[in-house]
Amino acid sequence: MFIEIEIYKDPWMDNGIENFYGILKDINSCEAKITDTSLKFEITNTEKFVKELAKKIINEKRQSLIFEEKDKKTSVAKEVKKDHLLLQEEKKIGGKVAFKEDIYKSEYTQEIISNIFSIGDGENICVLCERRFDKAVKELQQASYPLATKIRSLSGVRSYKDGFTLSLKEYYGNYCSICYLLGILLWSDEALIYRTFPGEKSFLFLPIFESLEELHAFKNYCRLSGIFGNGRYSNIRVGKESEDLEMTPGKFSTLLCFYEKLVDDSSDGFIAYNWSIMQIPFGPVKNIKMDSLNITKGMVGIIKKIKSYSVRIYSDICKKIYFFSESKKGIDWDLTKELQEKLAESFLKDNFRTFTKCLLPKGGHYIVFSSELIKNLDKLIFVWRCERMGISKENLDTIKSVGNIIARVSKNNMSLLYKLDKVRREDELWSVLREVARKIPGMEEKDLKMIKPSALDDLIQLVKDIIVTNKDIWKEVRDLLVIYSSMFLSINKMSKGGNEK
């Protein structure tokens, strides 16, 4: 029996094809080949094929759907269905998860597979792939296609009742056995990134490629990389040798964390830049949301370059940034998680302006800047912004010195710092810097000893020199000043004597 499954141009189904190809490669009674546009396989012995595929599903793929943990009352090990799965379960049997899908029940698996591959051509047309078939194994449902109730055109066809009234008649039965198989098995793909927030939502990340062959190359590289573990709420390992898993605060931090673990010199040619991110809510009504995200090659290049300096953007910067609350006299963890997620998002989207604003003090909240964080942030800023702008490390030191001045003059009144952040024109930047200069003579002696007033003149000359070739360079300088002013202000606020540089 020869079967060809063509590319869907649908993230869920194309990842389903890739996952199924990975299964077929290890089955002796089948010869499979994946190309840019299709998966082709020939079953050489149907009876043996059914048994081999059933064994793979029950003994290997099913294990990716469950997590083993100890019962809180009895301390006895039990199976738990991972929370991001849209697979329904029945009452546990002896601590074992019992899925409602018969294909994951050992007593029915062979029968289901046999039925799937015995269905022939017919009058029915599949709503997903338009393949003709005579009968369905299962109706269209979220368990095998999560967006079934999200996209109306996939759940029914438009018709006119009595020739006048527009109605929507559902055809859930027009769903072929191959599409069902691809969709229902995809949940077991160990190379799909997931992150669950108990009681709230889960995120599932689907890489997008124009070529099935390239999709397989990327995901197979991920499988062999040692990045993935098997957790209930996450599957990204803290380290390749560790069983601990990353508990990232959101979807962008999860993706950034994944990239920094994957990207190195050997990963060239095995990188996904386009993603569909599925948001799956908790509760009985599963209104799935799907977002698309493109990460540019330039941003992945920055992740790779900064990693060569032994700095990881999520693990060594975003994850190490905390919001201290003056009123609480401690870390505000809710705001900290929001901040860490926003920093990850602004970096992945190459939005330095938003990244800058994240570091501003807000309503009695200040970033806790450790010496290690400052060094890592300096490296990121230099690679991400300064090299693009043509600013040397010496020039960056000048900007930092002016940031220190602004922090000192703003320590009792931060309106000047906020005014700097709101600068929209070049002349407004010069106006703020003049105001800073006027305040220097009135500074306390201990603060005067900690600044370098001539840095203001050096900064003005720096901008005038660079603006000749880049007229918008002043915006980058503004953002850098905001970051370093915020950093020094926070350091001074957090230190008892306020005497740290």
| Number of other CB atoms surrounding residue 134 within 10 Å | 12
pLDDT value for 150: 56
pLDDT value for 136: 87
pLDDT value for 284: 76
The whole-model pTM stands at 0.91
Spatial separation of the C-alpha atoms in residues 248 and 261, rounded to whole Å: 13
- Low-confidence residues in the chain, pLDDT < 50: 156-161, 165-166, 168, 497-501
Nearest CA-CA partner of 190 in 219, 147, 232: 219
Spatial separation of the C-alpha atoms in residues 382 and 386, rounded to whole Å: 5
pLDDT value for 71: 78
298 exposure class (CB count in 10 Å sphere: 0-12, 13-18, 19+): exposed
Q: Can you spell out the DSSP letters for 387-446?
A: HHHT--HHHHHHHHHHHHHHHHHTSS-THHHHHHHT--SHHHHHHHHHHHHHHGGGS-HH
